[in-house]
Structure 1
Amino acid sequence: MNRFDDQTVLVTGGTGGQGSSHVRAFHAEGANVVIGDIDAERGAALADELGPRARFTRLDVTDESSWSAAVLAAESAFGALNVLVNNAGVQNPPATIEDTEQATWSRILDINLTGTFLGIKVAAPALRRATGGAIVNIASTMGLGGTAHYAPYVASKWAVRGLTRTAALELGRDHIRVNTIHPGVIATPFIQEPAAGATAAIADFYSPEPFAIPRLGEPTDVTRLLLFLTSSDASFITGSEYVIDGGLLLGPALQTEAA
Protein backbone atom coordinates (compact mmCIF):
# COMPACT_ATOMS: atom_id res chain seq x y z
CA MET A 1 0.00 0.00 0.00
CA ASN A 2 1.28 3.47 -0.88
CA ARG A 3 1.61 6.09 1.85
CA PHE A 4 -0.89 8.48 0.26
CA ASP A 5 -3.55 6.20 -1.18
CA ASP A 6 -7.00 7.87 -1.07
CA GLN A 7 -5.50 11.21 0.00
CA THR A 8 -5.57 14.51 -1.89
CA VAL A 9 -2.61 16.88 -1.95
CA LEU A 10 -2.56 20.49 -3.15
CA VAL A 11 0.89 21.80 -4.13
CA THR A 12 1.31 25.48 -4.94
CA GLY A 13 3.98 26.50 -7.41
CA GLY A 14 3.37 22.99 -8.68
CA THR A 15 5.00 23.41 -12.08
CA GLY A 16 8.38 24.64 -10.82
CA GLY A 17 11.58 22.70 -10.20
CA GLN A 18 10.74 21.69 -6.65
CA GLY A 19 6.97 21.84 -7.07
CA SER A 20 6.81 19.41 -9.98
CA SER A 21 9.11 17.02 -8.09
CA HIS A 22 6.71 17.11 -5.14
CA VAL A 23 3.66 16.61 -7.36
CA ARG A 24 5.14 13.60 -9.15
CA ALA A 25 6.28 11.98 -5.91
CA PHE A 26 2.92 12.33 -4.15
CA HIS A 27 1.22 10.95 -7.25
CA ALA A 28 3.62 7.99 -7.35
CA GLU A 29 2.76 7.31 -3.70
CA GLY A 30 -0.93 7.01 -4.56
CA ALA A 31 -2.20 10.53 -3.91
CA ASN A 32 -4.65 12.55 -5.91
CA VAL A 33 -2.72 15.71 -6.76
CA VAL A 34 -3.95 19.22 -7.39
CA ILE A 35 -1.36 21.38 -9.14
CA GLY A 36 -1.79 25.02 -8.17
CA ASP A 37 0.10 27.53 -10.31
CA ILE A 38 -0.29 30.63 -12.45
CA ASP A 39 1.30 28.88 -15.45
CA ALA A 40 -1.74 27.29 -17.04
CA GLU A 41 0.09 25.76 -19.99
CA ARG A 42 2.68 23.91 -17.90
CA GLY A 43 0.15 23.02 -15.22
CA ALA A 44 -2.31 21.50 -17.66
CA ALA A 45 0.49 19.58 -19.37
CA LEU A 46 1.68 18.10 -16.08
CA ALA A 47 -1.86 17.10 -15.11
CA ASP A 48 -2.39 15.47 -18.51
CA GLU A 49 0.90 13.59 -18.11
CA LEU A 50 -0.10 12.18 -14.73
CA GLY A 51 -3.63 11.22 -15.69
CA PRO A 52 -6.99 10.99 -13.90
CA ARG A 53 -5.62 11.38 -10.37
CA ALA A 54 -4.25 14.84 -11.23
CA ARG A 55 -5.92 18.20 -11.72
CA PHE A 56 -4.56 21.63 -12.57
CA THR A 57 -6.10 24.72 -11.06
CA ARG A 58 -4.92 28.23 -11.81
CA LEU A 59 -3.95 29.65 -8.45
CA ASP A 60 -2.78 33.16 -7.64
CA VAL A 61 -1.63 32.69 -4.07
CA THR A 62 -2.05 36.41 -3.28
CA ASP A 63 -5.81 36.24 -3.99
CA GLU A 64 -8.09 34.71 -1.36
CA SER A 65 -10.84 34.00 -3.88
CA SER A 66 -8.34 32.11 -6.03
CA TRP A 67 -7.43 30.02 -3.01
CA SER A 68 -11.11 29.30 -2.33
CA ALA A 69 -11.56 28.13 -5.91
CA ALA A 70 -8.51 25.85 -5.67
CA VAL A 71 -9.70 24.19 -2.47
CA LEU A 72 -13.16 23.78 -3.95
CA ALA A 73 -11.62 22.20 -7.03
CA ALA A 74 -9.76 19.69 -4.87
CA GLU A 75 -12.84 18.73 -2.87
CA SER A 76 -15.08 18.62 -5.94
CA ALA A 77 -12.71 16.39 -7.88
CA PHE A 78 -11.57 14.06 -5.12
CA GLY A 79 -13.92 14.48 -2.16
CA ALA A 80 -11.50 15.92 0.38
CA LEU A 81 -8.25 17.81 0.90
CA ASN A 82 -5.70 16.13 3.17
CA VAL A 83 -2.37 17.87 2.55
CA LEU A 84 -1.37 21.41 1.60
CA VAL A 85 2.16 22.20 0.44
CA ASN A 86 2.79 25.95 0.41
CA ASN A 87 5.62 25.79 -2.11
CA ALA A 88 5.04 28.87 -4.30
CA GLY A 89 7.66 31.57 -3.91
CA VAL A 90 9.62 34.23 -5.75
CA GLN A 91 13.02 35.84 -5.31
CA ASN A 92 13.87 39.52 -5.46
CA PRO A 93 16.61 40.89 -7.71
CA PRO A 94 19.64 41.57 -5.50
CA ALA A 95 19.78 45.11 -4.12
CA THR A 96 20.65 46.82 -0.88
CA ILE A 97 17.77 47.84 1.37
CA GLU A 98 18.36 51.46 0.34
CA ASP A 99 18.07 50.54 -3.33
CA THR A 100 15.07 48.21 -3.00
CA GLU A 101 11.85 49.61 -4.42
CA GLN A 102 8.80 49.40 -2.17
CA ALA A 103 6.91 47.70 -4.99
CA THR A 104 9.53 44.92 -5.00
CA TRP A 105 9.28 44.56 -1.22
CA SER A 106 5.49 44.33 -1.40
CA ARG A 107 5.46 41.82 -4.26
CA ILE A 108 7.87 39.42 -2.54
CA LEU A 109 6.00 39.53 0.77
CA ASP A 110 2.63 39.23 -0.96
CA ILE A 111 3.62 35.99 -2.67
CA ASN A 112 5.93 34.38 -0.12
CA LEU A 113 4.21 35.40 3.11
CA THR A 114 0.66 36.49 2.39
CA GLY A 115 0.30 33.60 -0.05
CA THR A 116 1.26 31.17 2.71
CA PHE A 117 -1.07 32.88 5.19
CA LEU A 118 -4.00 32.69 2.79
CA GLY A 119 -3.26 29.04 2.02
CA ILE A 120 -3.45 28.13 5.70
CA LYS A 121 -6.54 30.28 6.23
CA VAL A 122 -8.53 28.83 3.35
CA ALA A 123 -7.31 25.23 3.50
CA ALA A 124 -7.73 24.76 7.26
CA PRO A 125 -11.53 24.29 7.14
CA ALA A 126 -11.14 21.73 4.34
CA LEU A 127 -8.50 19.82 6.29
CA ARG A 128 -10.80 19.93 9.30
CA ARG A 129 -13.63 18.50 7.19
CA ALA A 130 -11.26 15.69 6.25
CA THR A 131 -10.79 15.03 10.02
CA GLY A 132 -7.20 16.26 9.92
CA GLY A 133 -4.17 16.47 7.71
CA ALA A 134 -0.87 18.24 7.23
CA ILE A 135 0.48 21.56 6.00
CA VAL A 136 4.10 22.08 5.07
CA ASN A 137 5.41 25.56 4.34
CA ILE A 138 8.52 25.70 2.17
CA ALA A 139 10.76 28.42 3.56
CA SER A 140 14.54 28.78 3.03
CA THR A 141 17.85 28.76 4.83
CA MET A 142 17.69 32.51 4.19
CA GLY A 143 14.93 32.48 6.81
CA LEU A 144 17.49 31.42 9.42
CA GLY A 145 20.02 34.21 9.03
CA GLY A 146 20.73 37.42 7.19
CA THR A 147 21.73 37.63 3.53
CA ALA A 148 22.90 40.93 2.09
CA HIS A 149 20.96 42.24 -0.92
CA TYR A 150 17.98 39.95 -0.38
CA ALA A 151 16.04 41.76 2.36
CA PRO A 152 12.51 41.14 0.99
CA TYR A 153 13.08 37.42 0.51
CA VAL A 154 14.86 37.02 3.84
CA ALA A 155 12.12 38.89 5.71
CA SER A 156 9.39 36.84 4.05
CA LYS A 157 11.00 33.54 4.98
CA TRP A 158 11.70 34.59 8.57
CA ALA A 159 8.01 35.52 8.87
CA VAL A 160 6.91 32.14 7.51
CA ARG A 161 8.63 30.54 10.50
CA GLY A 162 6.50 32.47 12.98
CA LEU A 163 3.36 31.90 10.95
CA THR A 164 4.05 28.16 10.91
CA ARG A 165 4.45 27.95 14.67
CA THR A 166 1.27 29.96 15.27
CA ALA A 167 -0.72 27.80 12.86
CA ALA A 168 0.62 24.65 14.54
CA LEU A 169 -0.67 25.87 17.89
CA GLU A 170 -4.06 26.87 16.51
CA LEU A 171 -4.69 23.74 14.45
CA GLY A 172 -3.09 20.96 16.48
CA ARG A 173 -6.28 20.03 18.36
CA ASP A 174 -7.98 19.63 14.99
CA HIS A 175 -5.40 16.97 14.06
CA ILE A 176 -3.77 19.30 11.52
CA ARG A 177 0.02 19.38 11.70
CA VAL A 178 2.00 22.36 10.37
CA ASN A 179 5.75 22.24 9.74
CA THR A 180 8.42 24.09 7.78
CA ILE A 181 11.19 22.94 5.46
CA HIS A 182 14.18 25.22 4.89
CA PRO A 183 15.95 24.20 1.67
CA GLY A 184 19.43 25.48 0.96
CA VAL A 185 20.83 25.86 -2.54
CA ILE A 186 18.75 23.45 -4.63
CA ALA A 187 19.54 22.90 -8.31
CA THR A 188 16.44 24.38 -9.93
CA PRO A 189 15.83 27.33 -12.26
CA PHE A 190 14.80 29.30 -9.14
CA ILE A 191 18.45 29.61 -8.10
CA GLN A 192 20.20 28.85 -11.38
CA GLU A 193 18.49 31.60 -13.39
CA PRO A 194 18.41 35.31 -12.50
CA ALA A 195 15.27 36.62 -10.82
CA ALA A 196 13.21 39.12 -12.82
CA GLY A 197 15.21 42.32 -13.07
CA ALA A 198 18.49 40.67 -12.03
CA THR A 199 21.61 39.91 -14.03
CA ALA A 200 23.02 37.18 -11.78
CA ALA A 201 21.51 34.02 -10.31
CA ILE A 202 21.70 33.08 -6.63
CA ALA A 203 23.80 30.05 -7.55
CA ASP A 204 26.48 32.42 -8.87
CA PHE A 205 27.19 33.42 -5.27
CA TYR A 206 27.42 29.92 -3.83
CA SER A 207 29.95 27.17 -4.40
CA PRO A 208 29.17 23.83 -2.76
CA GLU A 209 32.88 23.18 -2.26
CA PRO A 210 32.88 24.29 1.43
CA PHE A 211 29.66 22.39 2.29
CA ALA A 212 29.93 19.33 4.51
CA ILE A 213 28.20 17.52 1.62
CA PRO A 214 29.91 19.22 -1.33
CA ARG A 215 27.15 19.36 -3.90
CA LEU A 216 24.04 21.36 -4.67
CA GLY A 217 20.81 19.86 -3.46
CA GLU A 218 18.38 18.19 -5.83
CA PRO A 219 14.61 18.69 -5.75
CA THR A 220 14.19 15.05 -4.77
CA ASP A 221 16.20 15.70 -1.60
CA VAL A 222 13.50 18.11 -0.47
CA THR A 223 10.69 15.93 -1.77
CA ARG A 224 11.73 12.90 0.29
CA LEU A 225 11.64 14.98 3.48
CA LEU A 226 8.30 16.47 2.49
CA LEU A 227 6.77 13.04 1.97
CA PHE A 228 7.85 11.99 5.45
CA LEU A 229 6.50 15.12 7.14
CA THR A 230 3.09 14.81 5.50
CA SER A 231 2.77 11.08 6.13
CA SER A 232 1.41 9.24 9.16
CA ASP A 233 5.03 8.43 10.09
CA ALA A 234 5.30 12.04 11.31
CA SER A 235 2.03 12.06 13.26
CA PHE A 236 3.67 13.48 16.41
CA ILE A 237 5.59 16.28 14.66
CA THR A 238 4.19 19.80 14.42
CA GLY A 239 5.55 23.32 14.60
CA SER A 240 9.00 22.04 13.67
CA GLU A 241 11.63 23.29 11.24
CA TYR A 242 13.75 21.05 9.03
CA VAL A 243 16.90 22.33 7.34
CA ILE A 244 18.05 20.51 4.21
CA ASP A 245 21.17 22.26 2.96
CA GLY A 246 24.08 19.81 2.79
CA GLY A 247 25.66 21.56 5.77
CA LEU A 248 25.61 25.08 4.28
CA LEU A 249 24.73 26.66 7.63
CA LEU A 250 27.31 24.66 9.55
CA GLY A 251 30.20 26.71 8.23
CA PRO A 252 33.05 25.60 5.99
CA ALA A 253 34.15 21.99 6.15
CA LEU A 254 37.72 21.29 7.23
CA GLN A 255 39.93 20.91 4.18
CA THR A 256 42.69 18.34 4.56
CA GLU A 257 45.44 17.33 2.21
CA ALA A 258 45.55 13.77 0.99
CA ALA A 259 48.12 11.69 2.82
Structure 2
Amino acid sequence: MSKRVLITAGGSGIGRAMAEAFHAAGARVCVVDVDARALASCPAAWQREPLDVTDEPAIAALFARLRSSWGGLDVLCANAGIAGPTALIEDIEVEAWRRCLAINLEGAFLFAKHATPPMKAQRSGAMILTSSTAGLFGYPNRAPYSASKWAVNGLMKTLAMELGPHGIRANSICPGAVEGPRMEAVLAKEAAIKGTTRDAIYAGYAGGTSMRSFVKAEDIAAMALFLASDAARLVSGQIIAVDGHTENPDPKV
Protein backbone atom coordinates (compact mmCIF):
# COMPACT_ATOMS: atom_id res chain seq x y z
CA MET A 1 0.00 0.00 0.00
CA SER A 2 1.90 3.05 -1.24
CA LYS A 3 -0.42 5.56 0.39
CA ARG A 4 0.19 8.72 2.39
CA VAL A 5 -1.70 8.47 5.67
CA LEU A 6 -2.37 11.06 8.38
CA ILE A 7 -3.67 9.80 11.73
CA THR A 8 -4.80 12.02 14.60
CA ALA A 9 -4.19 10.78 18.15
CA GLY A 10 -1.74 8.36 16.59
CA GLY A 11 0.61 8.11 19.54
CA SER A 12 -1.36 5.54 21.51
CA GLY A 13 -4.49 3.39 21.60
CA ILE A 14 -6.53 2.96 18.44
CA GLY A 15 -4.52 5.59 16.56
CA ARG A 16 -1.24 3.85 17.36
CA ALA A 17 -2.66 0.52 16.18
CA MET A 18 -3.81 2.19 12.95
CA ALA A 19 -0.37 3.70 12.38
CA GLU A 20 1.33 0.35 12.96
CA ALA A 21 -1.06 -1.40 10.55
CA PHE A 22 -0.61 1.18 7.79
CA HIS A 23 3.17 1.24 8.23
CA ALA A 24 3.32 -2.56 8.05
CA ALA A 25 1.31 -2.39 4.82
CA GLY A 26 3.90 -0.07 3.28
CA ALA A 27 2.20 3.30 3.75
CA ARG A 28 3.90 6.56 4.65
CA VAL A 29 2.56 7.55 8.05
CA CYS A 30 2.22 10.88 9.83
CA VAL A 31 0.89 10.76 13.38
CA VAL A 32 -0.49 13.75 15.25
CA ASP A 33 -0.86 13.76 19.01
CA VAL A 34 -1.06 16.24 21.88
CA ASP A 35 0.93 13.83 24.06
CA ALA A 36 4.63 14.49 23.42
CA ARG A 37 5.68 11.40 25.38
CA ALA A 38 3.45 9.16 23.26
CA LEU A 39 4.87 10.70 20.09
CA ALA A 40 8.43 10.18 21.29
CA SER A 41 7.73 6.46 21.68
CA CYS A 42 6.64 6.13 18.05
CA PRO A 43 9.03 4.71 15.44
CA ALA A 44 11.40 7.22 13.87
CA ALA A 45 10.16 6.11 10.45
CA TRP A 46 6.86 7.86 11.13
CA GLN A 47 6.46 11.60 10.76
CA ARG A 48 5.48 12.81 14.23
CA GLU A 49 3.65 16.08 14.88
CA PRO A 50 2.77 17.48 18.35
CA LEU A 51 -0.53 19.21 17.78
CA ASP A 52 -3.86 20.07 19.41
CA VAL A 53 -6.65 18.99 17.05
CA THR A 54 -8.66 22.12 17.87
CA ASP A 55 -5.83 24.50 16.85
CA GLU A 56 -6.73 25.45 13.28
CA PRO A 57 -3.65 27.61 12.52
CA ALA A 58 -1.41 24.71 13.59
CA ILE A 59 -3.47 22.31 11.47
CA ALA A 60 -3.19 24.59 8.43
CA ALA A 61 0.59 24.78 8.93
CA LEU A 62 0.79 20.97 9.16
CA PHE A 63 -1.03 20.53 5.87
CA ALA A 64 1.26 23.08 4.24
CA ARG A 65 4.24 20.98 5.36
CA LEU A 66 2.63 17.80 4.07
CA ARG A 67 1.97 19.40 0.69
CA SER A 68 5.64 20.30 0.53
CA SER A 69 7.02 16.97 1.68
CA TRP A 70 4.41 14.50 0.43
CA GLY A 71 2.73 16.37 -2.42
CA GLY A 72 -0.71 15.25 -1.28
CA LEU A 73 -2.65 13.01 1.06
CA ASP A 74 -4.40 9.72 0.37
CA VAL A 75 -5.91 8.78 3.74
CA LEU A 76 -7.10 10.80 6.73
CA CYS A 77 -7.88 8.91 9.91
CA ALA A 78 -9.66 11.51 12.08
CA ASN A 79 -9.30 9.45 15.21
CA ALA A 80 -8.71 11.93 18.05
CA GLY A 81 -11.23 11.82 20.85
CA ILE A 82 -11.71 11.87 24.59
CA ALA A 83 -14.14 9.96 26.77
CA GLY A 84 -15.55 13.10 28.37
CA PRO A 85 -17.26 12.98 31.74
CA THR A 86 -18.96 9.83 32.95
CA ALA A 87 -21.74 11.31 35.06
CA LEU A 88 -25.46 11.88 35.37
CA ILE A 89 -26.67 14.68 33.11
CA GLU A 90 -27.38 17.01 36.04
CA ASP A 91 -23.79 16.62 37.26
CA ILE A 92 -22.03 17.46 33.97
CA GLU A 93 -20.28 20.82 33.86
CA VAL A 94 -20.82 22.79 30.66
CA GLU A 95 -17.07 23.23 30.15
CA ALA A 96 -16.60 19.45 30.23
CA TRP A 97 -19.41 19.15 27.66
CA ARG A 98 -17.80 21.76 25.41
CA ARG A 99 -14.33 20.23 25.64
CA CYS A 100 -15.65 16.79 24.67
CA LEU A 101 -17.44 18.15 21.61
CA ALA A 102 -14.49 20.37 20.66
CA ILE A 103 -12.04 17.47 20.51
CA ASN A 104 -14.33 14.72 19.24
CA LEU A 105 -16.34 16.71 16.69
CA GLU A 106 -14.55 19.98 15.95
CA GLY A 107 -11.23 18.15 15.64
CA ALA A 108 -12.69 15.81 13.00
CA PHE A 109 -14.24 18.76 11.18
CA LEU A 110 -10.99 20.74 11.08
CA PHE A 111 -8.91 17.87 9.74
CA ALA A 112 -11.56 17.00 7.13
CA LYS A 113 -11.69 20.65 6.12
CA HIS A 114 -7.95 20.88 5.55
CA ALA A 115 -7.62 17.42 3.99
CA THR A 116 -10.22 18.25 1.36
CA PRO A 117 -8.20 20.62 -0.90
CA PRO A 118 -5.28 18.23 -1.52
CA MET A 119 -7.65 15.32 -2.03
CA LYS A 120 -9.80 17.33 -4.41
CA ALA A 121 -6.68 18.35 -6.34
CA GLN A 122 -5.76 14.70 -6.94
CA ARG A 123 -9.41 13.61 -7.29
CA SER A 124 -9.00 10.78 -4.80
CA GLY A 125 -8.82 10.12 -1.10
CA ALA A 126 -10.35 8.33 1.85
CA MET A 127 -11.51 9.93 5.09
CA ILE A 128 -12.04 7.57 8.00
CA LEU A 129 -13.68 9.07 11.08
CA THR A 130 -13.51 7.24 14.39
CA SER A 131 -17.00 7.36 15.88
CA SER A 132 -18.36 4.89 18.44
CA THR A 133 -21.29 2.62 19.13
CA ALA A 134 -22.24 5.57 21.37
CA GLY A 135 -23.01 7.24 18.03
CA LEU A 136 -25.58 4.53 17.33
CA PHE A 137 -27.32 4.33 20.70
CA GLY A 138 -27.96 6.59 23.63
CA TYR A 139 -25.56 5.76 26.47
CA PRO A 140 -26.55 6.46 30.08
CA ASN A 141 -24.01 8.61 31.95
CA ARG A 142 -22.17 9.50 28.70
CA ALA A 143 -24.19 12.41 27.28
CA PRO A 144 -21.34 14.55 25.84
CA TYR A 145 -19.52 11.57 24.34
CA SER A 146 -22.64 10.08 22.80
CA ALA A 147 -23.78 13.43 21.38
CA SER A 148 -20.36 14.05 19.86
CA LYS A 149 -20.23 10.65 18.19
CA TRP A 150 -23.72 10.97 16.70
CA ALA A 151 -22.52 14.29 15.28
CA VAL A 152 -19.36 12.68 13.88
CA ASN A 153 -21.55 10.26 11.94
CA GLY A 154 -23.63 13.14 10.60
CA LEU A 155 -20.47 14.95 9.53
CA MET A 156 -19.24 11.82 7.77
CA LYS A 157 -22.52 11.36 5.87
CA THR A 158 -22.29 14.96 4.65
CA LEU A 159 -18.64 14.58 3.65
CA ALA A 160 -19.47 11.46 1.66
CA MET A 161 -22.22 13.25 -0.26
CA GLU A 162 -20.27 16.46 -0.78
CA LEU A 163 -16.92 14.96 -1.70
CA GLY A 164 -17.96 11.82 -3.59
CA PRO A 165 -18.13 13.65 -6.95
CA HIS A 166 -14.45 14.50 -6.43
CA GLY A 167 -13.42 10.88 -5.95
CA ILE A 168 -13.18 11.16 -2.16
CA ARG A 169 -14.77 8.58 0.10
CA ALA A 170 -15.79 9.04 3.74
CA ASN A 171 -16.77 6.40 6.30
CA SER A 172 -17.12 6.07 10.07
CA ILE A 173 -15.86 3.24 12.22
CA CYS A 174 -17.83 2.68 15.41
CA PRO A 175 -15.74 0.78 17.94
CA GLY A 176 -17.52 -0.94 20.77
CA ALA A 177 -15.91 -1.28 24.18
CA VAL A 178 -12.17 -1.32 23.43
CA GLU A 179 -9.71 -2.91 25.83
CA GLY A 180 -7.35 -0.30 27.26
CA PRO A 181 -6.79 2.51 29.77
CA ARG A 182 -9.61 4.76 28.54
CA MET A 183 -12.24 2.08 28.94
CA GLU A 184 -10.83 1.11 32.32
CA ALA A 185 -11.43 4.67 33.52
CA VAL A 186 -15.03 4.53 32.25
CA LEU A 187 -15.61 1.20 33.98
CA ALA A 188 -14.36 2.58 37.28
CA LYS A 189 -16.55 5.69 37.05
CA GLU A 190 -19.67 3.73 36.10
CA ALA A 191 -19.05 1.32 38.94
CA ALA A 192 -18.93 4.25 41.36
CA ILE A 193 -22.16 5.74 39.96
CA LYS A 194 -24.01 2.41 40.17
CA GLY A 195 -22.51 1.28 43.46
CA THR A 196 -21.03 -1.91 42.07
CA THR A 197 -17.68 -3.29 40.94
CA ARG A 198 -15.52 -2.72 37.89
CA ASP A 199 -15.83 -6.43 37.02
CA ALA A 200 -19.62 -6.28 37.09
CA ILE A 201 -19.64 -3.32 34.70
CA TYR A 202 -17.12 -5.07 32.44
CA ALA A 203 -19.33 -8.18 32.36
CA GLY A 204 -22.33 -6.00 31.54
CA TYR A 205 -20.61 -4.43 28.54
CA ALA A 206 -19.28 -7.75 27.25
CA GLY A 207 -22.61 -9.44 27.89
CA GLY A 208 -24.36 -6.75 25.86
CA THR A 209 -22.70 -8.02 22.67
CA SER A 210 -23.69 -11.13 20.77
CA MET A 211 -20.03 -12.22 20.71
CA ARG A 212 -19.68 -11.61 24.48
CA SER A 213 -16.42 -9.76 24.04
CA PHE A 214 -14.65 -6.43 24.16
CA VAL A 215 -12.68 -5.53 21.03
CA LYS A 216 -9.00 -4.69 20.61
CA ALA A 217 -7.44 -1.63 18.99
CA GLU A 218 -6.03 -3.94 16.31
CA ASP A 219 -9.57 -4.87 15.27
CA ILE A 220 -10.32 -1.21 14.56
CA ALA A 221 -7.03 -0.78 12.71
CA ALA A 222 -7.85 -3.72 10.44
CA MET A 223 -11.12 -2.08 9.43
CA ALA A 224 -9.36 1.24 8.76
CA LEU A 225 -6.85 -0.56 6.54
CA PHE A 226 -9.69 -2.10 4.53
CA LEU A 227 -11.60 1.19 4.18
CA ALA A 228 -8.44 2.91 2.92
CA SER A 229 -7.70 0.19 0.40
CA ASP A 230 -8.68 -0.09 -3.25
CA ALA A 231 -10.84 -3.07 -2.27
CA ALA A 232 -13.21 -0.53 -0.68
CA ARG A 233 -13.24 1.82 -3.68
CA LEU A 234 -17.05 2.03 -3.70
CA VAL A 235 -17.59 1.92 0.06
CA SER A 236 -18.58 5.42 1.18
CA GLY A 237 -21.05 7.04 3.53
CA GLN A 238 -21.10 3.95 5.75
CA ILE A 239 -21.24 3.67 9.54
CA ILE A 240 -19.46 0.41 10.31
CA ALA A 241 -19.49 -1.00 13.83
CA VAL A 242 -16.57 -3.11 15.02
CA ASP A 243 -18.05 -4.15 18.32
CA GLY A 244 -18.92 -7.84 18.40
CA HIS A 245 -22.51 -6.74 17.67
CA THR A 246 -23.84 -4.56 20.44
CA GLU A 247 -27.31 -5.70 21.47
CA ASN A 248 -27.75 -3.56 24.55
CA PRO A 249 -25.72 -0.42 25.20
CA ASP A 250 -26.76 -0.18 28.88
CA PRO A 251 -24.81 -2.78 30.83
CA LYS A 252 -26.97 -4.62 33.32
CA VAL A 253 -25.43 -5.06 36.73
Query: Same fold by TM (over 0.5)?
Result: yes
Residue 105 of structure 2 aligns to a residue whose secondary structure is helix
Contact 2:85 2:144 in 1 (8 A): no
Q: Partner letter of residue 244 of structure 2? A: G
Equivalent of 1:44 in 40, 43, 50: 40
Residue 122 of structure 1 aligns to a residue whose secondary structure is helix
Instruction: Name the stretch that deviates more: 228-237 or 208-217.
Output: 208-217
Show the 5 A alignment for 1:160-175.
160-175=152-167
Q: What CA distance in whole angstroms lies between the structure 2 residues aligned with 1:223 and 1:104? A: 28
Residue aligning to 2:92: 100
2:93 is the alignment partner of 1:113:
no
Q: What CA distance in whole angstroms lies between the structure 1 residues aligned with 2:157 and 2:223? A: 19
**How far is 1:19 from its partner?**
0.7
Equivalent of 2:24 in 8, 17, 28: 28
**How far is 1:201 from its partner?**
9.4
Q: What CA distance in whole angstroms lies between the structure 2 residues aligned with 1:250 and 1:194? A: 17
Query: Cα 1:189–1:73, aligned 2, differ >3 Å: closer, same or farther?
Result: farther
Residue 247 of structure 1 aligns to a residue whose secondary structure is coil
Query: Cα 1:41–1:129, aligned 2, differ >3 Å: closer, same or farther?
Result: farther
Residue 206 of structure 1 aligns to a residue whose secondary structure is helix
Q: Partner letter of residue 148 of structure 1? A: P
Q: Partner letter of residue 14 of structure 1? A: G
**How far is 1:122 from its partner?**
0.9
Contact 1:8 1:74 in 2 (8 A): no
Q: What CA distance in whole angstroms lies between the structure 2 residues aligned with 1:43 and 1:69? A: 18
2:11 is the alignment partner of 1:15:
yes
Residue aligning to 2:62: 70
Residue aligning to 2:247: 249
Contact 1:184 1:217 in 2 (8 A): yes
Residue aligning to 1:127: 119
Residue 211 of structure 1 aligns to a residue whose secondary structure is coil
Residue aligning to 1:184: 176
- The size of the alignment, in residue pairs, is 243
Residue 11 of structure 2 aligns to a residue whose secondary structure is coil
Q: Which runs of 4+ in 1 moved over 4 A?
A: 197-203
1:11-39 Cα shifts (integer Å, max 9, x gaps): 00001211100001101111100001111
Residue 186 of structure 1 aligns to a residue whose secondary structure is coil
Query: Cα 1:201–1:29, aligned 2, differ >3 Å: closer, same or farther?
Result: farther
**How far is 1:96 from its partner?**
1.5
Q: Partner letter of residue 106 of structure 1? A: R
Q: Partner letter of residue 84 of structure 1? A: L
Residue 98 of structure 1 aligns to a residue whose secondary structure is helix
Gaps of 5+ in 1: 253-259
Q: Partner letter of residue 14 of structure 2? A: Q
**How far is 1:78 from its partner?**
2.3
Q: What CA distance in whole angstroms lies between the structure 2 residues aligned with 1:27 and 1:76? A: 21
Residue aligning to 1:212: 210
Equivalent of 2:83 in 50, 67, 91: 91
Q: What CA distance in whole angstroms lies between the structure 1 residues aligned with 2:64 and 2:40? A: 18
Contact 1:35 1:57 in 2 (8 A): yes
Q: What CA distance in whole angstroms lies between the structure 2 residues aligned with 1:81 and 1:229? A: 15
Q: What CA distance in whole angstroms lies between the structure 2 residues aligned with 1:83 and 1:180? A: 13
Q: Partner letter of residue 242 of structure 1? A: I
Query: Cα 1:198–1:71, aligned 2, differ >3 Å: closer, same or farther?
Result: farther
1:43-90 Cα shifts (integer Å, max 9, x gaps): 133042xx2xx2001221111112112222323332221100010000
**How far is 1:249 from its partner?**
2.8
**How far is 1:190 from its partner?**
1.8
Equivalent of 1:238 in 236, 239, 244: 236
Residue 215 of structure 2 aligns to a residue whose secondary structure is coil
Residue aligning to 2:224: 226
Q: What CA distance in whole angstroms lies between the structure 2 residues aligned with 1:78 and 1:164? A: 25
